[in-house]
Amino acid sequence: MSEGKRTYYIGVGDGLITQDPECSPWNFKIEATDDEITQLREYFDNNYANEQENFYRAHVPYLQYHYDRENDAYDKTLLKVYGMIHRLGDETAKKHIESMGILKN
């Protein structure tokens, strides 16, 4: 483990960031500094706000998903989340994200 980094367990679906692998189900194990975790938390917070907007916008039947700015923002932030987890994650996390085929080289 690099100096200044600690082990965290990440749950992408619910925005979980914890150091306790037993507290809740998680998807990825990463090694991150406090600043990196702060950035990841901001990404999750941004997507939570976008999800709230998307909930209200979902009740507009004529608006298609791919024409909705809030959905675009959510998707872009989610790619940032996966990119960060790929960069900081263990080999299992890296391989899983690579298998998803969502990140550009």
Is residue 105 one of the residues assigned to a domain? no
The answer to whether residue 1 sits within a structural domain is no
Residues 6+ apart with CB under 8 A from 25: 11, 16
Q: Are 102 and 84 in contact (CB under 8 A)?
A: no
CA dist., res. 98 & res. 105, Å (int): 10
With beta carbons less than 8 A apart as the criterion, state whether 16 and 26 touch: yes
Give how many domains the chain has, as a whole number.
1
Asked whether residue 96 is domain-assigned, the answer is: yes
Average pLDDT by stretches of 10, the chain with 105 residues: 86 94 95 97 83 53 56 85 97 96 82
Cross-strand pairs, 10: 17, 28
Query: What does the pLDDT read at residue 56?
Result: 47
Q: Which domain holds residue 56?
A: 6-100
